[in-house]
Structure 1
């Protein structure tokens, strides 16, 4: 089996794999699946994604046939990325295709400077959720996604912390440290405390687990809000402006 960068010639195969995978994995009706495949994987949309420097679409090929693909997107700062979809043709599941796509995607992202990877999967895809947990990821948030006019719940996964501080690079180039043992629940994901030093003596801010980006610092009323994805933690005290 070969894992390679997808090309324009793969577009029909990618659509077919996506359709088969959605039918096998999700409780979506045929109309919803047809609409989703048409919207996400039509010729022009796929071409744009293949040409997008921040997107990576890797194809798994066996005996000249595309049997799976993984699509990921890098954040604006290039330091984090999210695996948006990982589809495998049902006829080839249980043969290591998903693992190979996942591993090569992470390697490819790391080669491009990505330091932290997250993944998304619809909540009703039991196999997909089990897959991320088997990779050592943990669920850190939930979001709503619209498919064919209907709202569905999507789980967000991130790599589990090792119990210590995880170093990341801030927008100004400084190295800061995420404490994954100290967090607050937000509206769509956890906010982890971030320190400016490895000894955790100087508070820096917060890390939004929903989009894997540094969030705005807490204000005087205890509110935290991520200006990238809108994840928010309510104030811990009464805000006089609302009384």
Structure 2
């Protein structure tokens, strides 16, 4: 396996790799994958990035298969280096290619002068999140990014200080992580437009009462979503309740992306299965 810099002749193969990997490992629609590949891995963009000193692009070239089987993209802005994309061909996952590419990109960003390191992963990436935690990166924040005309959730992981000291950056990251954790620990009194009686939490809308299952929680960019039912025994689902604004005006698309139509709070499902090293 040869780790090397991207060249102009590699762009077509990288685009193929991106689409095949995202189809396997991302909970995105075919149109979202195509749009993302066009925007982030189009030939013109890749060629421009190769010529940009602040950008690090490395590919894993398999001599056995005579093709590129992995790519990593990083960018440096001032003293912050960020690994933005790490994609491994589905047929070659589990061979530590991801680890080698990630370590190579991190070393290159440090050589460029990056003192703070972070990595990002779309929430819809079903395999990549725990990968970064293996390298001492911790979830620091969640933000919304645009793919075409759609908004999706992106997780930001920041490197923990290796010397055990609490820096300003790590304090900020800890605060943001705590805020995310606290958002999921919602008390009944904190849920807008709800009433609680006899252990039941309800919402009344258009003269119809629905019942919330506070154990059926889905994460969101602004607040948790809870499953709502038409009956107190939770037999028939009504939809989803947004804890950020108290609305039941929510929708779910064919890739299980929940969105509140009132405040824009968004959830995209991703795997909660135990990490099995398949991304390395």
TM, length-normalised to structure 2? 0.59
Larger Rg: 2
Match status 1:128 vs 2:118: no
- The match for 1:144 is 144
What is the root-mean-square deviation in Å for CA atoms of aligned residues?
A: 2.1
1:1-243 alignment runs, 5 A limit: 1-63=1-63, 64-75=66-77, 77=78, 79-162=79-162, 164-165=164-165, 178=168, 180-181=170-171, 184-185=175-176
- The match for 2:246 is none
Structure 1 residues 147, 159: CA separation in 2 closer, same or farther (over 3 Å shift)? Answer: same
- Counterpart Cα distance in 2 of 1:109 and 1:179: 18
Q: Which sits farther off after the overlay, 114-123 or 177-186?
A: 177-186
Superposed displacement of residue 178, structure 1: 3.1
Give the 3-state SS of the residue equivalent to 2:128 in structure 1. Answer: helix
Superposed displacement of residue 38, structure 1: 1.7
Asked whether the 8 Å contact 1:164–1:181 carries over to 2, the reply is no
- Counterpart Cα distance in 2 of 1:157 and 1:82: 9
Superposed displacement of residue 181, structure 1: 4.9
Superposed CA offset, 1:73-116 (max 9, x none): 101x2x21100100111110001110000011111112222222
- Counterpart Cα distance in 2 of 1:39 and 1:180: 32
Give the 3-state SS of the residue equivalent to 2:168 in structure 1. Answer: strand
- Counterpart Cα distance in 1 of 2:129 and 2:61: 24
Relative contact order, CA 8 A, sep 6+: which one is greater? 2
Structure 2: give runs of 5+ residues left out of the alignment: 181-280
Structure 1 residues 43, 124: CA separation in 2 closer, same or farther (over 3 Å shift)? Answer: closer
- Counterpart Cα distance in 2 of 1:22 and 1:3: 21
- Counterpart Cα distance in 1 of 2:86 and 2:162: 25
- Counterpart Cα distance in 1 of 2:106 and 2:3: 12
Give the 3-state SS of the residue equivalent to 1:110 in structure 2. Answer: helix
- Counterpart Cα distance in 2 of 1:142 and 1:86: 18
- Counterpart Cα distance in 2 of 1:123 and 1:27: 9
- Counterpart Cα distance in 2 of 1:149 and 1:121: 19
Give the 3-state SS of the residue equivalent to 1:180 in structure 2. Answer: helix
Structure 1 residues 19, 132: CA separation in 2 closer, same or farther (over 3 Å shift)? Answer: same
Structure 1: give runs of 5+ residues left out of the alignment: 167-176, 190-243
Structure 1 residues 47, 181: CA separation in 2 closer, same or farther (over 3 Å shift)? Answer: closer
